Amino acid sequence: MEKSTNFLLDIADKTAYLTINRPEKLNALNRATLEELATILAKLKGDSNVRGVILTGAGEKAFVAGADIAEFRDLSADDARHLAASGHHEVMDVIYNFPKPVIAAINGFALGGGLELALACHIRVASSAAKMGLPEVSLGLIPGYGGTQRLPQLIGRGKALEMILTGEMMSAEDALQCGLVNYVVAPEALVTTCEQLLKKIYAKSSTAVSAAISVVNIGLVKPEEGYLAEIDAFGTAFSSLDFEEGVSAFLEKRKPNF
């Protein structure tokens, strides 16, 4: 296991276990943490031994309890815009468009920037003890790392606005009911559930998985381009080695070797 200032990283069985390791701060996202996360993501993206990522927080209390508010006090408006832009471009958008599946294992509070981090992941699995919310309006702010855009895509405009405008937290079960998370499980089953999901994905073509992530994202961000992107990616798949193996395996009635 690799240990850095703010993270624990362990790679095993094709999976990167990435843990935000600031439990004394409830794993809050300060600028140093975001910069380090950007560096780790770049490393994992290029690591051929990694096919998926499980992202979680250290301790039992929090996934990520938000941004480090102490850093906000002396920011100018331009400073704040730069902070939001760098968080978007270097971390949240990177995770959202990551070519390998990233699963958020939400083990406790996921608030503000922490929920936005989970929203950027491809799949969310929550502990039954988890609580989620976007409380920025209580500080005279709004979400700045994609929450106003990604939350409505997942749960609809009305419910998203209720969460954002009231700043109230949502239970794990309520999050499941509205589609914010994919599964709610007992705390002790959180990581194993994520592992089981990734195991199913690893049995499929990695090139097809990557293409599917890309095309789904294009359709959400630029709906007018989604169908054309799908058509292009579908055609491109026919020239891949995984397509040859997948069709051969199907016709030979065996499991494909991706």
Residue 198 CB burial class (10 angstroms; 0-12, 13-18, ≥19): buried
DSSP-assigned letters across all residues of 56-72: EESSSSEEE--B-GGGG
The catalytically annotated residue of 36, 136, 230, 244 is 136
Distance CA 80, CA 86 (A): 10
The catalytically annotated residue of 116, 162, 245, 252 is 116
Distance CA 232, CA 250 (A): 23
The verdict on whether 136 is a catalytic residue reads yes
Distance CA 62, CA 30 (A): 15
Distance CA 1, CA 188 (A): 21
DSSP-assigned letters across all residues of 42-56: HHHHT-TT--EEEEE
The verdict on whether 116 is a catalytic residue reads yes
> Residue 41: how many CB atoms within 10 A of its CB?
20
Catalytic residue ranges = 116, 136
